[in-house]
Amino acid sequence: MLKGVFSIKRLVLVIFWAVNLVACTVGNEKPAAVPVAIKLRWTHNAQFGGLYAADQEGYFAAEGIDATFLEGGPGIDPIAAVLDGEAQFGIAGADVILLARSQGKPVRAIATIYQRNPVVFFALTNTGITTPQQFAGKTIRATLDMLPTLRAMMAFMAIPPEAYQIVELPSDIARFASGEVPIWGGFVTGMVLDLQQAGYDIQVIYPDNYGVHLYADTLFTTDAFMAESPDVVTRVVRATRNGLTFAVTQPEAIGPMVALYNDQADPAAESLRMMASIPLIQSGTTRIGWMDQAKWQEMHDILLAQGVLPNEIDVSTVFTLAFLEKSIGDEK
């Protein structure tokens, strides 16, 4: 009888330890990474170097995030892609996010990637054009998305739109070099870099130096996703900031990373583009990714004055610092 009791007790203990062993094993297993898709505003290039670094250097993985990057391009709307559920996050121009919010679309900026706008205006040095005041009476190449920046800069210089002519042309080095159109708008990380690499001596004019302070590439998500998965949003913001920090401190590593996503990319050229992006990402006056309400208000007022925004809106509904504050607080 006693032997039977001990056998039962032994069996109970074996079962107890077996259950605890399984529980401990399950408890120690790393939870599956959360799949997240991020819709880019353009095709794979160094413009998104911070995201590639976050992926390749393990920052997303460390946050339990399995990130996928979906290419954008001409005619592709990142706002629509996120609202339609194709992606949980997107990269879009700050002006695009402002416009979307003014149209009642429930998207919100959660971190800025380009704190300075890459849109600049340039001319051959031998033209003698060095300031916006000299744009009066000239023909200027500018695409539709560059017009708010150009108009705002000229307004600051008290030069009305009728004082200059706008033409829309494709990026063409030979046509620029011909001097047919003396002033061109373009990205400092794009055509400007291509011209300098080709040996052209150009004068670059930054609207940021003339009172036009616009955020450009900005990470956003929907109001619903923020409410449903705030921890995921914080982790994505933190990993993105870590990736951007890596990209601005080791820009030479970004070119080879771009080639992992775009087999047509020239790694050396992409690393140069990343180097040119550093002043856009790291302003020197605030933390990487940070946003400021006064700057959002300034962008709002510029776009409203240019007729880009259909109506006035409360800019506090366009962005949130909650996830930046949480991610930065966790670093301390």
Tens-digit pLDDT profile for residues 91-121: 998 989 999 999 999 999 999 999 998 999 9
Identify whether the C-beta of residue 69 lies closer than 8 Å to the C-beta of residue 199: no
127 by Cβ neighbours in 10 Å (0-12 / 13-18 / 19+) ranks as middle
CA distance 24 to 28: 6
Quote the strand ranges of the chain, DSSP E. Answer: 34-39, 65-70, 89-93, 107-112, 119-124, 139-141, 165-167, 183-187, 202-205, 217-222
pLDDT at 4 over 90: no
At a CB cut-off of 8 Å and minimum separation 6, what does 185 contact? 119, 120, 121, 140, 141, 142, 143, 146, 149, 150
**Predicted confidence (pLDDT) at residue 292 exceeds the cutoff of 70:** yes
pLDDT of residue 332: 53
- Do 108 and 101 meet the contact criterion of CB atoms below 8 Å apart? yes
Looking at per-residue pLDDT, the higher value among 297 and 330 belongs to 297
- With 80 as the cut, is the pLDDT of residue 20 above it? no
Q: How far is CA 18 from the centre of its chain?
A: 50
Residue in 190, 191, 152, 92 with CA at minimum distance from that of residue 304: 152
Q: Is the pLDDT of residue 2 over 60?
A: no
Plot region of 243 (φ>0 → left; ψ -120 to 50 → alpha; else → beta):
alpha
Let me know: does 223 contact 108? Beta carbons within 8 Å: yes
209 residue type, one letter? N
Work out whether strand 107-112 and strand 89-93 pair parallel, antiparallel, or are unpaired: unpaired
* SS3 readout for 84-132: CCCCCEEEEEHHHHHHHHHCCCCEEEEEECCCCCCEEEEEEHHHCCCCH
% of the chain beyond a pLDDT of 90: 73
The pLDDT of residue 240? 98
Question: Who wins on pLDDT, 36 or 117?
Answer: 36
**pLDDT at res. 76:** 87
Whether the per-residue pLDDT at 203 is higher than 60: the answer is: yes
CA distance 77 to 90: 10
DSSP string, 4-29: HHHHHHHHHHHHHHHHHHHHHHHHHS
**223 in helix, strand or coil?**
helix
pLDDT of the residue at 89? 98
Number of residues that this document lists for the chain: 332
Assess whether the region 34-116+214-331 and the region 119-210 belong to the same CATH fold: yes
CATH topology of domain 34-116+214-331: D-Maltodextrin-Binding Protein; domain 2 (3.40.190)
Least confident among 16-25, 199-208, 275-284 = 16-25
Over residues 23-27, mean pLDDT: 42
Q: Does the pLDDT of residue 79 top 90, yes or no?
A: yes
Residues 136-178 pLDDT 10s: 999 999 987 788 889 889 988 999 999 999 999 988 999 999 9
For the chain, count helices (H), then strands (E): 14, 10
According to the model, what pLDDT value does residue 330 have?
A: 66
**What ranges do the domains of the chain cover?**
34-116+214-331, 119-210
Lookup: tokens for 108: 């919100």
CA dist 194 → 125, 172, 175, 270 (Å): 16, 10, 13, 11
CA distances from 65 to 30, 60, 69 (A): 12, 5, 12
Does residue 230 or residue 3 have the better pLDDT? 230
pLDDT of residue 214: 86
Q: Does domain 119-210 have CATH number 3.40.50.620?
A: no
pLDDT greater than 70 at residue 299: yes
